[in-house]
Structure 1
Amino acid sequence: MFEYHGWVTVQSSTGDENDSESEAARTAAAAVLQALQSAPGLAEIRTVNGVNQIHIAGCSNHKGSQGDQVIEVFADIGRVAPGSYGILYVRDDEDSSGRENEFQVTVMRRGAVSSWRDELLSPCIPVIEDDE
């Protein structure tokens, strides 16, 4: 199973933005997000109280190319809107690097992404599931 949940606050910079900068960041991020529109799951951008927000989530039987695409799109949003921040949680029970029993966390800060070990929901067995 490949499961993912993520959010991004989209910003063109880390300082105060004017309306045109905010709209340019939204447009660029929406274009990147378009790559996930045909995938099963959630991929949406909304403006809430003047703040551009992206939410992505989904679950499939295997990671496949869609899983790689989710991770790439998350990073690409940071490249086109370098003031953005957010989190992507991924669980891949077929991970070959030994992380099949844990969530993997990708954090975006100032548009740059880094990977972290999850300590809140992992190890999945026994923290959130039983071994049956």
Structure 2
Amino acid sequence: MYEFHGWFGIAESPEEADTGTLQRGIDELRERVEALDWSTGEAVLRAHNGEWFVRADGLVNRRRDEAEELDALTAFIARRFPGAWGLLYERSDGLPAPPGPGAFRVRVLARGEVATRLDPFLSPVRPIIEDSPAVAPDLTRQLGSPGEQLPTSSSRAASVRHVLAPVHDGVRRPRHR
């Protein structure tokens, strides 16, 4: 399985969205986006309030042409629009570690550069967004249901602290088991 979700704001420079050749660049970008023919995904180019954005989403059985074409589209946007910005979240059973299977990687586009980052919000996929048969019931008992306020003092709070591990930014996330 290969899943991707991303958006990119289009700008010719960090100071100005249009330095004189934006329309020509948008025309080139539109050709590239319209040439994509993904059966279980899409990429679209849209203007919102005078600003241009590319959005890409898809879920395919395995990493194949869509991944290569998305890589090429991201590289084109970075090269042609050095003021562009955005995020691309990707998950695949075949991703090498890090992040490996069961986690998202995030490609961050800013100032003409694409950097790969580990996802701090949805990874590891189990138990953050998917149930794990061995872990989910125990975590549900310890953490409560979604939206429930975590306790501040009790034996339940102690067990929550045991399951959650602090990280460098002060946010607690489930430990890998």
Q: TM-score, normalised by structure 2?
A: 0.67
Aligned equivalents of 2:119, 2:18: Cα separation in 1: 36
CA RMSD between the two structures: 1.8
Q: In the TM superposition, what are the counterparts of 1:35-54 in structure 2 within 5 Å? A: 35=35, 37-40=36-39, 41-54=41-54
Q: Work out the number of aligned pairs and report it.
A: 131
Q: Which has the higher contact order (CA 8 A, sep 6+)?
A: 1
Deviates more, 1:8-17 or 1:42-51: 8-17
Cα drift, residue 101 of structure 1: 1.0
Q: 1:18 to 1:76 in 2, by over 3 A?
A: closer
- Higher strand share goes to which structure? 1
Q: Contact 1:10/1:52 (CA < 8 Å) preserved in 2?
A: yes
Aligned equivalents of 2:17, 2:10: Cα separation in 1: 11
Q: Which runs of 5+ in 2 are unaligned?
A: 134-177
Q: Contact 2:12/2:19 (CA < 8 Å) preserved in 1?
A: no
In the alignment, is residue 129 of structure 1 matched against residue 130 of structure 2? yes
Q: Which runs of 5+ in 1 are unaligned?
A: none
Q: What residue in structure 2 maps to residue 32 of structure 1?
A: 32
Q: What residue in structure 2 maps to residue 92 of structure 1?
A: 92
Q: TM-score, normalised by structure 1?
A: 0.88
Which string of whole-angstrom CA distances, capped at 9 and with x for unpartnered residues, describes residues 43-87 of structure 1?
110111110111100010000232122122112211111110010
- Higher Rg of the two aligned structures: 2
Q: 1:55 to 1:17 in 2, by over 3 A?
A: closer
Identity of aligned residues (%): 29
In the alignment, is residue 65 of structure 1 matched against residue 65 of structure 2? yes
